[in-house]
Amino acid sequence: MRIEYPNELAIRLICCHLGFVHALKQSLRRTHAADYQCYLEPSDLTRLTRYTTIPAALLDRQAEDLQTLRQTGPVDGFAFLALNELLVRFSDSMGRCERIKNTLFPVTYWYFTRVFIWLLIVILTIDVAEEAGRWSIGLVSWVCLSCDASERAESGQSFRWQSGQRPAGFACVHHRNQRLANA
């Protein structure tokens, strides 16, 4: 077994966590891209093939590395507890995101929400028209219709990948590849 120095293990923990973030993003968006793989070592990639939930497996890997840091000495008991609690919170947040992603809202929720919002807009427009003049009716109507159209277009799309978006980790991946090329 190879002995790892604390700096190597810390860098592996950082890369593993970046891989976790990208794997969670891809899991929530249900894409088959493998952006997270560029952050992981080949041994970690072969190990991940046994798991069905890759983000959870990466959190387990981070917990094992944290335990190794605790046993070798660079991390004391208090720091270990704080970092372990942080991993637990990441796991809880991952579960919350998955529950939000899988929650179905009934049609009546969307319908009544829209009805009450439009009722508020009509009442607000009538009230503003008395103070600001009739031109404000067109302005308020245009703003509200624009917001409603964009909300309809993006309803339920928060975890889906849009073709015009740049990946969140584009700069990180580019910087890491440059660093590896210069090493």
pTM: 0.61
| More confident of the two residues 135 and 155 | 135
pLDDT in the model for residue 178: 55
CB proximity list for 70: less than 8 A, separation 6 or greater: 77, 80
Q: Is the dihedral of CA 160, 151, 171, 15 positive or negative?
A: negative
Task: Convert the pLDDT of each residue in 21-55 to its tens digit.
Answer: 988 988 888 887 778 888 888 888 888 888 888 89
> What residue has token string 């319908």?
111
Interior/surface letters 116-139, b for 16+ CB within 10 angstroms, e for the rest = eeeeebeeebeeeeeeeeeeeeee
